[in-house]
Structure 1
Amino acid sequence: MANNPIRILQVVPSLNRSAGVARVVYNWNRFHDENRVHFDFLHHSSRNGVLLHNKRYDEELKAVGSEVFTVNYAADDLKRFIREVHEVFEKVGANYDIVHCHMPNSAFCVLREAELVGIEHRVLHSHLNNSSDKFLHRLRNAPLNAIGKHYATDYIACSDDAGRFLFGSRPFTVINNGIPLEQFAYDSESRKLLRSELGIKETDPVVGCVGRLVKQKNFPFAVRVFAKFHEAFPDAKMLILGDGDDREELEGIISSEHLSNVVILAGVREDINKLYSVMDVFFMPSLYEGLPVSAVEAQAAGLPCVYSDNVPRETDITGTGTFLSLDADIDKWTKTLENAFNRGRLTDNPVLLEQRGYSAKANAELLMQHYERLMEGK
């Protein structure tokens, strides 16, 4: 038994390349030791058996030896979701030592099924400091989250803020959202080539946003702030990386602000690490976050960052970011972006991130040690 790796089922919302949770577990898989742990995956990013995202990690993970199980999207038919999760655990649940659930509002089902098939170690992971951007969803999620915690035996969070939100006074372990730092380092050659590809001049100021196009990320607000910024800096461009259900609405706002020629919706890109080099400022006016992976990536690229104060202060790992209330006057937001742009590239950031524990390799090691302690009963 000692020679067998610990088998873990990672339960995630999706393996969409633009989703922060997916990038976190993908990085764990890249830097784990297969002799110590083995990861398989379960997600519900599927509708009637058809995967929902074009750019995803599913095939890549299968190619390196992981199994990826899918069930249909919970919000479409919760009873079907519960039934399908039950079927997956009935079929393969006995193969796993640990289930690691990244979906607090589905843990009532996922971790219950894990318990029923005898999986002793059931990890619940908090990635956010809020449960939804919609009031009715928050109302729905509160009891679901409470029930899910009942079936968990171990608690992990990406930040103190996210941990306190979901677990309250219960003890939890913080494991940072580490990234492969060297891949996100500023690259002048990538900047030059990609700016040319995107139709951006070398001297144009570029404000960048990264994330799913959903309400939580507050991109319509970002576009309105940028509209004001663009008045002062007519050469400025905005680059938004990601995709999602609210793309059409965002395109409408961009059009209504007469910014279609200067706001670039680049979608989900596999060269996202190089695209941070195109940007001059990273802008995140989110309604809520846990500890966003994209903000770690932006800091690794040396970008000055501007956040809403709904983003946890822990996000500013390098101590170089600026936080502002969403209630602040739009002129103040514009001035804050201008000040960030004037700071220029922050060349010490990669070293600071390494020192403060945000390399993917280091975090994969910490997670493996955590699993090993669970199995040893410590």
Structure 2
Amino acid sequence: MSLVRVLYILPALNFCGGMENYAMNYYRKIDKTRIQIDFITHTNLEMSFKNEIENLGGKVYQFPVFSIKNFNYIQKKIDEFFFTHKNTYSIIHCHMANAAYFYFKIAKKYGINIRILHSHQPSAADKITHKIRNYPLLYLGNKLATHRVACTELAGKFLFKNKPFIIIKNAIDAKKFNFNYNIRVELRKKLNLENKFVIGHIGRFCAQKNQKFLLEIFKEVLKKNKNAYLILIGDGEDKQKIKECIKNLNLMNKVKIIPPCENVNDYYQAFDTFVFPSLYEGLGIVLIEAQCAGLMVYTGNENIPKDVKVTSNLKFISLKESANIWADDILNNTNYIRKNHYEEIKKSGYDIDNEVKILENYYLSLINKS
């Protein structure tokens, strides 16, 4: 069989994006003698993974950010792309559900008969105006898809309703996230966090991730433990709002914002606990990573799939509970024994070394059938 070229559609390519990390985890491990992946992104942000992708033989194309005003322009760009790359791609795999309609309509026109729609979220958007825009686009994209994939049942049933889909898990390179005491000591010393109680959070700064509530939780933690410190790793449209919130809560000396970075796995080692009060997630890949690193992990009980609990270290707390209740739970579980959870991650199907074979076989089986 000749080399199969797959085209991925993603919103961005930065270190802290869950969708991007999903794609990169599989891309790094996939057998590139049989399958090569190229990427189209719709972003103004720095594309952190661009050099790595190109060094591995892939190509990266940057398109404008989607907006209602530029729909026609973007459709023109997509058409030009497929015209220029006639007969290049056997499969288009769209991870941006609200962009699928535009891509699938034009990909079909140019003879790409395998059009995979991937559901990563159990919600159309976090803003009501975006939901209104997205619902018809999700419907039309779903209609033009030939195959459907989801990270969990929750995400799949949201987007695909009664249409059949398969689950391919948000697997991680588990060995990278195993608890490492030496890295912990070295990084905490570098960050001047020795003898501190460090709460960690990794995620895009946006309404979905609910960082304002996280800051309220941290404020309550500080009332009971003056030695506490919060690290936020990420970037995004609400970054300035979060900075203002930190200032308004008088937390400037207790909260550190770190830009998306390549060695994010090292920061899990430096944390003492991981708090992620997201409003909704298709899975929440950072929750798997944090458990792998042996951390106590706290997340919302609403719209987070229960599949994400793969160790006894993860606890669900309702977002309807007060910040004080969250703080008490966090502080009541500080004396746990930190250990590796690699075997549990592997057994649960979240280790990339095993799961990448499922994706490879899926692509190749679709090619054989076509």
Describe how 1:319-330 pairs up with structure 2 within 5 A: 319-330=312-323
Describe how 1:137-176 pairs up with structure 2 within 5 A: 137-176=130-169
- How many Å apart are 1:344 and its aligned residue? 4.0
1:296 aligns with 2:288: yes
1:314 aligns with 2:312: no
SS at 1:10 equivalent: strand
The one of 89, 92, 99 aligned to 2:85: 92
- How many Å apart are 1:348 and its aligned residue? 5.0
Describe how 1:195-214 pairs up with structure 2 within 5 A: 195-201=188-194, 203-214=195-206
Q: One-letter code of the match for 1:317?
A: V
Check conservation: 1:318, 1:349, Cα contact below 8 A: yes
- Name the counterpart of 2:357: 365
Describe how 1:174-193 pairs up with structure 2 within 5 A: 174-193=167-186
Distance 2:332 2:101 in 1: 46
SS at 1:244 equivalent: coil
User: Pairwise CA RMSD of aligned residues?
Assistant: 1.4
- How many Å apart are 1:93 and its aligned residue? 4.4
Q: Which runs of 4+ in 1 moved over 4 A?
A: none
The 1:366/1:246 distance shift into structure 2, 3 A limit, reads: same
- How many Å apart are 1:319 and its aligned residue? 4.0
- Name the counterpart of 2:242: 250
- Name the counterpart of 2:99: 106
SS at 2:149 equivalent: strand
SS at 1:343 equivalent: coil
- Name the counterpart of 1:12: 10
The 1:218/1:366 distance shift into structure 2, 3 A limit, reads: same
- Name the counterpart of 2:336: 343
SS at 2:333 equivalent: helix
Describe how 1:211-230 pairs up with structure 2 within 5 A: 211-230=203-222
The 1:339/1:82 distance shift into structure 2, 3 A limit, reads: farther
Q: TM-score, normalised by structure 1?
A: 0.94
**Cα deviation 1:233-291 (Å, max 9, x = unaligned):** 10011111111111111111111111111111111111101110011111110011111
- How many Å apart are 1:366 and its aligned residue? 0.7
Distance 1:101 1:94 in 2: 18
Check conservation: 2:14, 2:48, Cα contact below 8 A: yes
Distance 1:87 1:297 in 2: 39
- How many Å apart are 1:343 and its aligned residue? 2.8
- How many Å apart are 1:173 and its aligned residue? 0.7
1:22 aligns with 2:15: no
- Name the counterpart of 1:38: 36
- Name the counterpart of 1:49: none
- How many Å apart are 1:78 and its aligned residue? 2.0
Distance 1:229 1:58 in 2: 39
- How many Å apart are 1:5 and its aligned residue? 1.9
Distance 1:272 1:148 in 2: 33
Greater Cα offset, 177-186 or 347-356: 347-356
1:233 aligns with 2:225: yes
Q: One-letter code of the match for 1:157?
A: A
- How many Å apart are 1:107 and its aligned residue? 0.5
Describe how 1:47-66 pairs up with structure 2 within 5 A: 52-53=45-46, 56-66=48-58
Distance 2:83 2:291 in 1: 43
Greater Cα offset, 7-16 or 315-324: 315-324
Q: One-letter code of the match for 1:162?
A: A
The 1:93/1:132 distance shift into structure 2, 3 A limit, reads: farther
Q: One-letter code of the match for 2:8?
A: Q
Distance 1:339 1:312 in 2: 24
Check conservation: 1:302, 1:350, Cα contact below 8 A: no
Aligned residues: 368
SS at 1:109 equivalent: helix
Q: One-letter code of the match for 2:97?
A: P
Distance 2:185 2:248 in 1: 30
- Name the counterpart of 1:125: 118
Distance 1:308 1:342 in 2: 22
Check conservation: 1:180, 1:360, Cα contact below 8 A: yes
Distance 2:236 2:190 in 1: 23
Check conservation: 1:304, 1:344, Cα contact below 8 A: no
**Cα deviation 1:56-95 (Å, max 9, x = unaligned):** 1112211221111221111262222121111111111421
- Name the counterpart of 2:344: 352
SS at 1:372 equivalent: helix
Distance 1:122 1:83 in 2: 19
Check conservation: 2:104, 2:115, Cα contact below 8 A: yes
- Name the counterpart of 1:331: 324
Q: Which runs of 5+ in 1 are unaligned?
A: 47-51
Check conservation: 2:293, 2:340, Cα contact below 8 A: no
Q: Which runs of 5+ in 2 are unaligned?
A: none
